[in-house]
Structure 1
Amino acid sequence: MAKVSAILIGFGNVNRRLLLELARFKEGVEVVCVFSSRGGVEVKAESDFSSLLRLAESGQKLSMHPGFKHGFNVRDCIDKLGEPSVAFIALPPSYETGEPNLNILRLLLENGVNVITADKTALALDYANIMEKARKHGIFIGYRATVAAGTPAIDLVRGLVGRDVVKIEAVLNATTNYVISLVERGYSFSEAVSSAVREQLAEPDPRIDIEGWDAAAKIAILASELGYRYTLHSVKRTPLTSVSESEIREALEKNARYRYIAVFDREEGRLEVAPKAVSKDDLLAQVSGIYNGIVIELEGEKIALTGPVGPAWRTAKVMVTDLLELLRHLERHI
């Protein structure tokens, strides 16, 4: 089989780790271009790729590459891609405007480029149209890393398509777990959030976690995976800080714990993210640290899944899982 031409969009922690993983696939994957927000690198020789690996290993910016070109963008590289091709996307989310994330994904689809993404933005905002366009053009989209990367949440929900799923309740944001745990120990919200940012557990803009954007994007994707036409804007978001520090601590005295819970309720037509006190015996109360948890109600029973999320190396490995699926898909169709 011919090599798959690849581009990496984003050169943060996830795509740096992914690049190191892709070095194991040199017989099957050829990295052609790598981009950051300011420009990119075209891989013209083995030395270019070796320099990228050194940057990835040392955590340095893409602009340190000797072949870095300011203003070089995805559109400039598409014509250089061979067939078949794939783009690995790991960009900061842009939930309020969707850009440039949405336009980048649409550009890739319009040009027949397969996509493997860790970025939730486009799917949370326009899942149905993106998937329809991908199916129409025979394009593969891998997105296991968008929800609970490290735990097969997407696979679980995908395996329930056509089943009588009535409700999903889930803890989908590990940052809020961390913040709640510190508040329980006496920290203020402000102190707990600052600690999460310092520990790189929160987004640089912590509002994405604390105001529910991240969890809302994830529950919207899970509901969409079941076939419902929901978007991020369908989700009612109640900030974690809508409960007081004292309420979080008092819950412990009542054999309960607060968790930031995302809900899809089919019968009520409701998608919501909000803080909720749950019994300490509840599975979701036991989800802590860097773990996520999902409870799915269907056909009078429940299915539960818990597991780790992140960090970057684990997210990269999940993207490799999607890559392996793509390679199998291509083997069947080439």
Structure 2
Amino acid sequence: MSTQKILVTGGAGYIGSHVVRQLGEAGYEVVVYDNCSTGVPSAVLYGELAIGDLADIESLYRTFAQNQFDTVLHFAASTLVPDSVVRPLDYYTNNSRNTLNLLRCCQAFGVNQLVFSSTAAVYGNPQENPVSESTTPLPINPYGRSKLMSEWMIRDYGLASGFRYVILRYFNVAGADPQMRIGQYNSKATHLIKVSCEAALGLRSSVSIFGSDFPTPDGTGIRDYIHVEDLAAAHIDALRYLQAGGKSEVLNCGYGRGYSVREAIAMVKEVSGVDFPVFEGERRVGDPAWVVAASERIRKVLGWHPRYDNLKAIVETAFEWEKKLCKL
């Protein structure tokens, strides 16, 4: 059990709230800093919630001044790829500039450890799959580029100081807390499994497949789906790794296997027992064909052992969560 105080930016959001819950269960003292634009205060099950925006440097400094943080876990970001294509400057503002604000605070208050929420979108449309951490990042949308810019700032600051970090590049996150305490609240989320579960419950009239002519076995995009509980556990592992003196690392968070859009939809239909309508449309700008994680490094470096490496388990918890949301 630890009494270290941890700052979690974006801790009221989907992934952040699962990490906060696991931190609390592990005995950490947690302060969540979130503007709750997409996060939900009731999802913060442990610690203290400070309502604030990373763009508000005075509020952020005040939060650092009132606490003696051991490590920062940084989740706060805008994350919708199609939206980033339409509103790129908003993504560079919220993702890149606000990460700079956070790093300035870390520097000013002597906080020298960071776990950063990055994304497989930094890889763009990789030529080889599974894609490893040594692959040169070539993002193809503003979301990926804004996160890569944040990675560069973190790395450069680390090289110039004693600052150590673990950058976690997420693949496609889905599912919910198996005990149904928290899950994906955001009604604007565009994740395929969430959207498909909503269709199965009659909350949407249909599901659209964006692109059926990709160079993949069934023509639809292939993704590495990871359960949010396993992703959250990777953050606890990364935190303990840094606290034990581990050197800076960049690590993929995925299972190393991919499922196509059609396969994911079919699993939602199987779990729900509902044959909802599915329509094929044009590709979206910024969508890669095939992205699967090489995950050997995170297992070796952090000793990460996923517990929910199963598409059916992911979909089952996602579907149960959507059913619960309907009753709230």
The TM-score by the shorter chain falls in which range? 0.3 to 0.5
TM-score (norm 1): 0.42
* Larger CA Rg, structure 1 vs 2: 1
Q: Which has the higher strand share?
A: 1
